[in-house]
Amino acid sequence: MTKLSVNINKIATLRNARNENYPNLLKTAQDILSFGAQGITVHPRPDERHVRYSDVYELKKNINSELNIEGNPIKKFIDLVNDVKPDQVTLVPDSEHAITSNSGWDTITNFSYLNDIIKEFKSNSIRVSIFIDPNINMVEGAKKLNADRIELFTGPFAKEFDLNRSEAVKNYVKCSKIANEINIDINAGHDLNHHNLLFFSESVKNIKEVSIGHALITESLYLGLETTIKTYLDILK
């Protein structure tokens, strides 16, 4: 079964709107795990507009499940990850003021830069995933970097899904085949939701984990958090 890691950035955004501790981020993360999700994802940005760096330490100490920290590996982020030592770090090339992640790494052009960072994280026994576009060259580049996993950026798939789902998923299927051949594990994330996840997960084989936040929290407004998580888990079975 593909694991579900819930990105809780939007919970932190709601909390920060009042500059209080409601909703309580840690309690929500614990509830999400009690409802069956297998992991928690956070994406702390330098301006801390949603998840704060201090939140990451609290989560690491108080949840009994996989913690995935994603972000652009600036020095502050690298120091955080090496200090917290999460189960997984996902490297994402988003700029400081990006609203959300909108592209993957060029693992060839950025080889030297990423290589040193990946070595450092792996020396601390942290699993490393590289966020990439669905491009075979980028998959092969991630393997040369000795990354443990790739995370396929599924934003383009979601945008094209209603127009032509078979065409939208084609490059992801190609990438998954290559990844399996060269023995690098696959995660996926961004804009996956109740509407498109089943087709994606049935088309792209051997996905280890999907990270879903914005859609899951939005759907929870209508269905409730527990029901929404269980629906996602049913899809991934």
Domains and CATH numbers, the chain: 3-236 (3.20.20.70)
Residues tagged active-site: 43, 70, 190
Q: What stretches in the chain show pLDDT beneath 50? A: none
Query: How big, in percent rounded to 5, are the helix, strand and coil portions of the chain?
Result: 50, 15, 35
CA gap 176, 160 in Å, rounded: 19
Predicted TM-score of the model (pTM): 0.96
The predicted pLDDT at position 97 comes to: 63
Return the pLDDT at 204. Answer: 97
Query: For the segment 87-112, what is each residue's pLDDT rounded down to a tens digit?
Result: 999 999 986 665 566 789 999 999 99
Q: How far apart are CA 233 and CA 227, in angstroms?
A: 10
Q: What is the pLDDT of residue 94?
A: 82
Please tell me the predicted confidence (pLDDT) of residue 100: 63
pLDDT at 103: 83
Share of the chain above pLDDT 70, in %: 97
Question: Phi/psi zone of residue 19: left (φ > 0), alpha (ψ -120 to 50 degrees), beta?
Answer: left
pLDDT score at 184: 98
pLDDT at position 112, please? Answer: 97
β-pair partners for 188: 152, 210
